[in-house]
Amino acid sequence: MMAVAMNHDELRGLLKRREPMHRHTSWRVGGPADRFYEPADIEDLATFLQTLSPTEPLYWVGLGSNLLVRDGGVRGTVIMLSGKLNGLTRFSETTIRAEAGVASAKLARFSASQNLRGAEFLAGVPGTVGGALAMNAGAFGGETWSIVTAVETLDRRGQRRTRLPSDYQVGYRTVVGPKNEWFVAGHFTLTPGNGEEGQAQIKALLAKRGATQPTQWPNAGSVFRNPPGDHSARLIETAGLKGLTVGGAQVSPLHANFIVNTGKATAADIEALIAKIQAEVEKLHGIRLEPEVRVIGEAV
């Protein structure tokens, strides 16, 4: 890995070449990214996007959860938002504005500190606001877009827009909107309430998460979407797959819809285990599980 300062006078961020992605994914796997940019803020990111070729492949990363980067790495540019686009403010009496790099759990806690209720479920989403917006992430019965009233986006030309939920088709773990635009902030409208009760609810949800999910092992959150009327974890468990391993990757004995890195897993191990789970569940139940995790990059 080599870090280099951008030679464009207007850019204030940091460009790294051949940056190992295992440093930036919650599974702790992944080969190097050709280019890896850490913007100073939204304005700097807009300027950086203008420097890229219209055909340059772009990949956006927050906390690196819900993401599998293959061992051969990423051809193109990875843009790292976590810790960079971190603005978090009370935008109005009932609305919080959070930039895309803010951890979802931080948004939940901040909202409660402002005596606003309705974002507590986000404490169980192991990613950032940008990722939650992109996939309508959910936890404990709540979904991100249920509290979204506006989003801010950037396109490849660095043009910034504010859009409404009506500009998007939102479903279970899916969000479809204008092409070649990316979320840089969200506006979340909540309900005034007792902040101490909100903090207590967050604490209880995190305790439940710790008791039912393998948070002590590197993982990427839920691997598969739940099929209509059922749960992927139930289908995997009844197929007898808890504890199944491929190399250093294992179906968590605690929660069947989690794959953990037991220490020496490769991305290839994880991808092979995903395929094996799909095959076994389809063979037994006749249901093809669809991955929730995003897979990018090239195999070795």
Is 82 in the active site?
A: no
What is the chain's Cα-based Rg? 19
Residues 6+ apart with CB under 8 A from 201: 112, 120
- DSSP assignments along 121-146, one per residue: GGGG--SBHHHHHHHT-EETTEEGGG
DSSP summary character for residue 52: S
Q: Which helix (H) or strand (E) holds 250?
A: strand 249-251
Nearest to 219 by CA among 249, 176, 195, 240: 249
Q: Which helix (H) or strand (E) holds 184?
A: strand 181-189
- Maximum separation of any 2 CA atoms in the chain, in Å: 60
Instruction: Name the catalytic one among 99, 152, 181, 292.
Output: 292
Is 65 in the active site?
A: no
In 10 A of CB 111, how many CB atoms? 28
In 10 A of CB 207, how many CB atoms? 10
Question: Are the beta carbons of 249 and 270 closer than 8 angstroms?
Answer: yes
Instruction: Name the catalytic one among 65, 82, 222, 232.
Output: 222
Is 222 in the active site?
A: yes
Instruction: Name the catalytic one among 28, 75, 90, 173.
Output: 173
Query: Amino acid letter at 276?
Result: K
Q: Give the residue numbers marked as catalytic.
A: 173, 222, 292
